[in-house]
Amino acid sequence: MRSVIVVVTTVLTGGLCGPAFAQDEPGVRVGTFIGGLTSYDMFGHEVTSPGGGIRISVPARERLGFEGELSWFSIRKPSDEQAQGGRTFIAKGGITARAIDRTQFSLLGLMSAGLIQSNREFLSDTENWVVFVAPGRHLLLEFGLSGVFFPSSRISARVDATHEVYGALTPSGSNEGAVTANAYRISAGLEYRLSEQRPRRPVPSSPDDPRRFVLGPQLVYSQLAGEGMFTLMNNAGPGAFGEYRLSHHVDLDGMFTAFVQPQLMHTPWSGGRVLQTVGGIMWGGRGPRVGLFFRARGGVESYSQVFLGQDAGMSQYGRVTNPLLDLGGTVEYWRTKDWVMRVDAGVMRSVSRQRNVSLNGVVIPETRPPDATSVQFAFGVGRRL
């Protein structure tokens, strides 16, 4: 996962910061494609589903573009796979950046978010402790690369390779509960240009503002999968972010979030309300208005009501803090020289440690569980200081 994000963000930022060419803008394009979605069954074997879809691509400024896509994969797979039973439908939208831009070829980096749905997967009713097969829908985060060939002014051929990350339930009988699943997709298709091409204007250089600090509030949405969970937990909460520019391509970055909804299941590693704080490096580039960055941060998350033990029939709870790793990407849009809108997307992994539980004075060591993983999105507004 980490290497995929690094490669894609390198392409994205290379497209933003690279020199401009005199080639015409590609215009609005619509297209169709076929391909395969590869995931893993309960034994770890690869399972590939054939399918296809439609796409629309709209160019923007500074080599950036916006894309929307609908795809469908038709193999009816067993329902005991991770959120992939039956037929799969994907709806997503995101941004592209042209890193290599020639008259007959372009290399693009892709970052998208959306929904993935399967019509037969294991779901659970936590109140009645029942597991059943039904359609399921999950939040999707995608990174990838795309090569586009222009044999004529109207028709283009395109090949995509992407990596999808989303929340899922483990196969029936597994003791891991909910996890974060991975899928890989390769597709090829044709596109047709609808709008007229227009000459591309050179992108002016953007001198760095002497003010280096950016601070602001943000709203965070998280879909959490972890030990002891029989369903994926959706949560949201307010937070704040801060940046300090070290150079044109490197920023120090930090974030604090307080999630509103408590985690009702109390385990020796999690439970209650969650606080997160992370800090690290953003690497990428900025144009006159848009910035694209790869983000790597470390920190901690704190649970307010973790199960510590039981004495005389009374459960005891306390606060526990776990290490946290955050990998993802950040998009900035500078409306003015003072104000920025910021969107973050990434994967957070909480590393649980072995803990002891006291039951009526008897200390029982608990085995370290699998790491808890969440797919997170954040939207914020900041001011340069």
98 and 11 within one domain: yes
Return the top range by mean pLDDT from 84-93, 114-123, 364-373.
84-93
Report if residue 206 sits inside a domain: no
272 and 178 within one domain: no
Residue 263 and residue 311: Cα distance in Å, rounded?
23
What tokens does 133 get? 């097969």
Q: Write down the pLDDT at residue 370.
A: 63
DSSP state, 354?
A: -
| Helix ranges (DSSP H) in the chain | 2-17
Report if residue 86 sits inside a domain: yes
**Stretch 146-175: mean pLDDT, rounded?**
76
- Say which residue the tokens 């995931």 belong to: 39
Q: How confident is the model at residue 309 (pLDDT cuts 50, 70, 90)?
A: confident
Residue 33 and residue 58: Cα distance in Å, rounded?
17
What tokens does 374 get? 């969440």
pLDDT digits (tens, 9 = 90+) for 93-141: 988 877 777 878 888 888 888 888 887 766 554 455 555 566 777 778 8
Specify which residues 14 forms β-bridges with.
Answer: none
282 pLDDT more than 80: yes
- Give residue 244's domain range: 213-384
Residue 228 and residue 308: Cα distance in Å, rounded?
15
Report if residue 37 sits inside a domain: yes
Q: Are 177 and 131 in contact (CB under 8 A)?
A: no
How many structural domains compose the chain? Answer: 2
| Residue 119: CATH number of its domain | 2.40.160.20
Report if residue 65 sits inside a domain: yes
Q: Write down the pLDDT at residue 77.
A: 53
Report if residue 205 sits inside a domain: no
219 and 266 within one domain: yes
Report if residue 207 sits inside a domain: no
